[in-house]
């Protein structure tokens, strides 16, 4: 169980949703992978960008925050195929450099380079970041007034609104259990329809809860992830391990308690302008 926070600790809730997300923890041979859930390095990077921290700045206070992630809408995997070439028609350069510090040409000459990037599309996550209340208050303000553009893992993946759902005076596990389901209206209505068909229920009936997978930081967890950021410095990027456990929580759906058509588009709180609202996110 996650320990109950003391009076000076709290939980900051983030709704991580957007057309595309990419939470990679390794890249090799021109492949940019993504994990099925947000990484701690990605979430801490988002918080550091909001706070205006440079890549070389220390991360001790942020890396010691604990993270729990709930999958409200898993999304699907997208493979993005890229080719790279020199617009002047010249052979591409290789990664190695000469004694003079200049990149060496490829040998034999290579004119086209293939790279592959993976993304999660149509995904929604609820992230619970736990730690000192004063630090989280500052991060909450930063998320609502970010110093740098925010992204869901990669710069090409902006988040939809609302991103910050505020502070909770509770622990990570209870915050993830009690916060209503954040999936899009389309996914919620599809789930409600399937739920009614399976139970042969009336069209006016709605499920009160939905099962969602969660990943919680736990020193006794049986899984190990190498995604704790020690440094984002491009010259010495370093990550440490953390232990996590996986579980399923029964989450309130926030469907209307009475019969009749739905009157809201989503469980969002409506704060801020959402440029992706017309796309149904």
At 272 the pLDDT is 46
What are the φ/ψ torsions at residue 198 (nearest 5 degrees)? Answer: -65, -30
* The pTM of the whole model exceeds 0.85: no
Residue 235 is predicted with a pLDDT of 84
Q: Enter the tokens of residue 38.
A: 């947000």
Q: Which fold has domain 9-279?
A: Alpha-Beta Plaits (3.30.70)
H-helix or E-strand spanning residue 103: strand 103-105
Mean pLDDT in each 10-residue stretch from start to end of the chain (281 residues)? 66 97 80 93 97 94 97 96 85 78 82 88 98 97 97 95 96 97 95 95 93 97 95 90 97 72 42 53 51
Judging by beta carbons within 10 Å of its beta carbon (0-12, 13-18, 19+), is residue 44 exposed, middle or buried? Answer: buried
CB within 8 A of 268, min separation 6: which ones?
15, 161, 162, 182, 274
* Structure confidence at residue 28 (pLDDT): 66
What does the pLDDT read at residue 74? Answer: 97
């Amino acid at each position: 169980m996650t320990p109950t926070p003391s009076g000076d600790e709290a939980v900051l809730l983030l709704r991580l949703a957007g057309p595309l997300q990419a939470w990679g923890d390794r890249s090799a041979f021109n492949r940019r992978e993504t994990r099925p859930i947000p990484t701690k390095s990605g979430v801490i990077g988002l918080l550091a960008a909001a706070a205006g921290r440079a890549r070389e700045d220390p991360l001790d206070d942020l890396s010691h925050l604990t993270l729990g992630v709930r999958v409200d809408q898993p999304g699907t995997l997208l493979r993005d195929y890229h080719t790279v070439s020199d617009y002047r028609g010249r052979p591409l350069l290789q990664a190695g450099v000469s004694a003079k510090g200049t990149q060496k040409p490829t040998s034999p000459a290579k004119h086209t380079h293939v790279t592959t990037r993976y993304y999660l599309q149509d995904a929604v996550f609820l992230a619970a970041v736990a730690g000192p209340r004063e630090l989280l208050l500052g991060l909450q303000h930063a998320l609502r007034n970010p110093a740098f553009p925010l992204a869901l893992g990669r710069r090409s993946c902006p988040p939809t609104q609302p991103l910050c759902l505020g502070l909770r005076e509770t622990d990570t596990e209870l915050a993830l259990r009690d916060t209503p389901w954040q999936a899009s209206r389309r996914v919620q209505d599809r789930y409600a329809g399937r739920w009614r068909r399976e139970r042969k229920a009336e069209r006016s009936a709605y499920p009160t809860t939905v099962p969602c997978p969660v990943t919680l930081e736990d020193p006794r967890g049986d899984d190990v992830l190498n995604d704790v950021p020690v440094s984002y410095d491009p010259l010495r990027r370093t990550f440490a391990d953390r232990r996590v456990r996986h579980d399923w929580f029964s989450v309130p759906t926030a469907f209307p308690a009475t019969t009749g058509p739905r009157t809201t588009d989503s469980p969002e709180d409506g704060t801020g302008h959402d440029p992706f609202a017309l796309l149904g996110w």
